Amino acid sequence: MSQTASIDYQTYAKRGFFLGLALLLIGVVGSVVGHAFFEPLPAWENTLFVGAEFAGLLIGFFSPILFGIVLPLIE
């Protein structure tokens, strides 16, 4: 047993996945709605939505791997 406080990895993995999913959905919906209703989107808004999509993919993919597999094994 570890001498330190136990971390709830399952909760961190779930919350990280849903945070990534939320970022991905915000990026996709913002980009689609922005281009559908406000055709000339400024470059910073387009960059923001694309960045949110990529960050959502990375966080949603790596959070369960990190908190669900790697960290419990090395504890």
pLDDT tens-digit series, residues 12-36: 999 999 999 999 999 999 999 999 9
| pLDDT value at residue 2 | 56
CA-CA distance, 25 to 32, in Å (whole number)?
10
The residue-averaged pLDDT of 64-72 equals 94
Q: What is the DSSP letter of 25?
A: H
Mark 34-57 as b/e (b = at least 16 C-beta within 10 Å): beeeeeebeeeeeebbeebbeebe
- Amino acid letter, 47: T
CA-CA distance, 63 to 34, in Å (whole number)?
29
| pLDDT value at residue 53 | 97
Give the residue extent of every domain in the chain: 9-74
Tell me the whole-structure pTM to 2 decimals. 0.85
